[in-house]
Amino acid sequence: MSEIDTDTHNQWLSPEAMELVRSQVPIVYVDAVPVRVDSTGCVTEVGLLLRQAADGSISRMVVSGRVLFGERIRDALVRHCEKDLGPLALPRIPTNPAPFTVVEYFPEPGRSGFHDPRHHAVSLAYVVPVDGECTPTQKALDLAWLTPDEVVSARVRAEMTGGQDRLVRLALGHVGQLP
């Protein structure tokens, strides 16, 4: 492994090294389905980003990203929520979060219902309530807050790729609010 170039300051692999690793090793990710809840804890809205997906399409998707070497899962969730939703999103993530499911993305479509043409990725998926002001940052073109009924509609599901629609339905089912 000494031949792989690693930036020791931010613990990211060089693009060439990342390509090599992606071709041989599953990558650990987190998926966060951002939600707003009412005073009783019921989901009132689900946040979906509009951005370029791994397959090159412009798609609606949840917050997602890699876990860095040596990074705690909670820290990865906070980092990706703040990166994608803005620094004032105020995600409520427990001290020791537990995923509601584990998702396997495969480069071959249809293998698991989740697809990422770049690699095999294993993602821990969470429902993350956010309390603050959300403003899409970096790669996101837009952020839409949709009711549970809207987010599972055929129109919105058609705007998602790679199994993101399935992930959102699993998240709503997990919190007992799948319409």
Q: Give per-residue pLDDT as tens, 124-156.
A: 999 999 999 888 776 778 999 999 999 999 999
Q: How far apart are CA 153 and CA 135, in angstroms?
A: 24
**Domains present along the chain, CATH in parentheses:** 26-174 (3.90.79.10)
Q: Which residues pair with 143 in a beta bridge?
A: 49
Nearest to 65 by CA among 13, 22, 30: 30
Distance between CA atoms of 166 and 170, rounded to whole angstroms? 6
Predicted confidence (pLDDT) per residue in 88-105, tens digit: 999 999 999 999 999 999
pLDDT digits (tens, 9 = 90+) for 55-97: 888 999 999 999 998 999 999 999 999 999 999 999 999 999 9
